[in-house]
Structure 1
Amino acid sequence: MDRDTWNDLAIFAAIVEAGGFTRAGLGLGVSASALSHRIRAMEARMGVRLLNRTTRSVAPTEAGERLLASLRPAMAEVEAALITLDADRARPTGRVRVTAHRSAAFDIVLPRLGGLADAYPEVTVELVVDDGLVDIVRRGFDAGIRRLPSLEQDMVSVRLDDGVPLAIVASPEYLRSFGVPDTPQDLQRHRCLNYRLPTAGSLYRWSFERDGQTTTMDVPGTFVTNDIDMLCEGAIAGLGVACVIDTQAAPFLASGDLMSLLDVWRPMLPPNYLYYAGRRNIPPALRVFIDAMKTPLPPSPSRRIDRHVRL
């Protein structure tokens, strides 16, 4: 059924309910003559008279009564659907599908989901962990979290932090055997654990900053992985020096399984951004998810630890 026919049927029902063209026109904001023209055109298309007209009244014909009896349940369903739509527009509900890289999933998303669920129990978050860059529109995601140097023009981004601190770590056993590096250049004489970037396919270049000076370098090594958890595990196993997310290393630094190196060089990763397709009407469920991700978290006690090397 085309839109014009549906509109004409709605006009027909309104005329019958109002008992005439003039009253129906007042309710619809249309002149009585325009309504009469629409009904005559519909009757001509259908080949059947739907309304009996006199100078004083308008009433449905027998065919019109049968049509109206069929229309009323359908129109009631449409009205109920519109009421539900209005309610959903005001109340956050439904699923929000999000892709995030691993450290953002653990450090940004998960700690905030409890508060979101308490405030909006009808919102479901589906979190897909993927360290590669993702086309969220093509893959059917509502939002993504990445460290983005740039965005497509139709994307909107929200900065979530000021950058992510890294930790250069190694096991006590490794450091006893190979010594402690004092500068980033000393890493050229060490076994380093390299990370292969999932989208670019290249090895991550280690970057250091001190007194406003930045040093970026490739490091030698005998181990390469595309899994950030394996970097920590490899360092714990004594395979060499790893560059990992600060929060990822924190429990192993606290337990003494790992030691922190080159702290004064303050290695950092770029900020995390939440990004989504630009649109005029953001679904309420996505809006409250975005707001939740921007909510500050109290500092974790596990991060405030003495991480200096002690051999």
Structure 2
Amino acid sequence: MADELDGLTEFLTVARERSFTRAAAKLGIAQPTLSQTIRALEDRLGVRLLIRTTRSVSPTEAGERLLQTAGPRLDDIRAELEAMRELRDKPAGTFRISAIDFTVDYIIWPKLAPFLERYPDIKVEITIDYAMTDIAAAGYDAGVRLGGVVAKDMIAVPLTGDSRFAVVGSPAYFARYPAPVVPQDLTGHRCINLRLPTYGNTYAWEFEKDGQELRVRVDGQLVFNGIFQVLNAALDGFGLAFIPETMATPHLETGRLRRALDDWCPYWEGYHLYYPTRRQSSPAFALLVEALRYRAPTV
């Protein structure tokens, strides 16, 4: 039976990563060894599992079936084995989290650092990811998103209170351009865009006032795929930015940024850590969740 399962982990990793190079690095083995292992699995099963080209790797119909059926079951087995290991005196385990860089730096890390000091046998791998990644299919234990976009079949734990974004620009920018009064005015401004990989398009700035909701496509000289670069460009006077208020606040307080359209920027449900129900069986993961959980300040 063990021989039948040989190569299954390697296949699932390649199928999820869509790359032998990335899969080999993730597994910590040489790429030729990985290729031989997959080929041996295909030979035993008598079917081809992967389509290999010079530029990409993708599952065949049989490979996709194996990925969708065996993948979640193997993840469940791994979770249970980790739970068994955690019955030792010290909580232990390795957990993978998908999040954007802003939530890592401003929300997760301040709580995660002391947690890791307390539990040295717990390991955490964080991947910066702006895509709406299917965390279960990609092998993550958890992800971080605004509460309103978390899938209904996931458990969601609040990491922050209600949050909002801010339209900001430098004093030098506002010295050259009048501040927008309504969101529609943004079409006449130089704005710094954020491109989201899931949709392949730039993020439409979202506003709401008195029950009126608006989504505005803005334009400008710069487009980034990371929010910190958007902030830096705004600080340097290259245009208006739409960034989390938490990021903007220190610079608003020092005068390096000024705010616009404040009355059009609503509060949204805050950031949440979300994960599939199978993760509940892990004591170490439960400790991690509790360490990151948002607790409203007491008056």
TM range (shorter): 0.5 to 0.7
Distance 1:211 1:90, change over 3 A: farther
Rounded Cα–Cα distance in structure 1 between residues aligned with 2:84 and 2:257: 54
Q: Which residue of structure 2 lines up, in the alignment, with residue 247 of structure 1? A: 246
Q: Does 2:263 align with 1:264?
A: yes
Rounded Cα–Cα distance in structure 2 between residues aligned with 1:288 and 1:172: 45
Post-superposition shift, 1:166?
0.9
Please show how residues 50-199 of structure 1 align to structure 2 within 5 Å.
85=84, 88=87, 91-147=90-146, 149-151=149-151, 153=153, 155-199=154-198
Q: 1:52-82 deviations in whole A, cap 9, x for unaligned? A: xxxxxxxxxxxxxxxxxxxxxxxxxxxxxx9
Rounded Cα–Cα distance in structure 2 between residues aligned with 1:268 and 1:261: 16
Q: Which amino acid aligns with 1:187?
A: L
- Secondary structure (helix, strand or coil) at the match of 2:201 reads coil
CA contact (8 A) 2:169 2:237 kept: yes
Rounded Cα–Cα distance in structure 1 between residues aligned with 2:221 and 2:105: 28
Per the normalisation by structure 1, the TM-score is 0.62
Distance 1:211 1:249, change over 3 A: same
Distance 1:297 1:266, change over 3 A: same
Q: Which residue of structure 2 lines up, in the alignment, with residue 73 of structure 1? A: none
Q: Does 2:298 align with 1:294?
A: no
- Secondary structure (helix, strand or coil) at the match of 1:175 reads helix
Q: Which amino acid aligns with 1:149?
A: V
Rounded Cα–Cα distance in structure 2 between residues aligned with 1:280 and 1:264: 40
Post-superposition shift, 1:298?
5.6
Range 234-243 or range 269-278, more displaced: 269-278
CA contact (8 A) 2:158 2:294 kept: no
Q: Which amino acid aligns with 2:167?
A: I
Distance 1:102 1:280, change over 3 A: closer
CA contact (8 A) 2:101 2:128 kept: yes
Post-superposition shift, 1:241?
1.0
Which structure: larger Rg? 1
CA contact (8 A) 1:137 1:277 kept: yes
Post-superposition shift, 1:89?
6.2
Q: Any unmatched runs of 5+ in structure 2?
A: 3-80
Q: 1:220-257 deviations in whole A, cap 9, x for unaligned? A: 32322211111111112221111111122222222322
Rounded Cα–Cα distance in structure 2 between residues aligned with 1:281 and 1:188: 47
Distance 1:131 1:86, change over 3 A: closer
Q: Which residue of structure 2 lines up, in the alignment, with residue 48 of structure 1? A: none
Q: 1:80-104 deviations in whole A, cap 9, x for unaligned? A: xx9x947626752122221111222
Rounded Cα–Cα distance in structure 2 between residues aligned with 1:269 and 1:173: 30
Q: 1:108-137 deviations in whole A, cap 9, x for unaligned? A: 211111342354333222222212122323
Distance 1:201 1:163, change over 3 A: farther
Distance 1:264 1:293, change over 3 A: same
CA contact (8 A) 2:161 2:296 kept: no
Rounded Cα–Cα distance in structure 1 between residues aligned with 2:172 and 2:85: 64
Q: Any unmatched runs of 5+ in structure 1?
A: 3-81, 300-311
Distance 1:270 1:201, change over 3 A: farther
Rounded Cα–Cα distance in structure 2 between residues aligned with 1:269 and 1:277: 23
Range 127-136 or range 272-281, more displaced: 272-281
Rounded Cα–Cα distance in structure 2 between residues aligned with 1:199 and 1:92: 36
Rounded Cα–Cα distance in structure 2 between residues aligned with 1:123 and 1:272: 23
Q: How many residues align?
A: 218
Q: Which residue of structure 2 lines up, in the alignment, with residue 213 of structure 1? A: 212
Post-superposition shift, 1:277?
2.1
RMSD: 2.9
Q: Which residue of structure 1 lines up, in the alignment, with residue 226 of structure 2? A: 227
CA contact (8 A) 1:96 1:285 kept: no
CA contact (8 A) 2:94 2:122 kept: yes
Post-superposition shift, 1:172?
0.8
- Secondary structure (helix, strand or coil) at the match of 1:191 reads coil
Post-superposition shift, 1:297?
6.9
CA contact (8 A) 1:91 1:284 kept: no
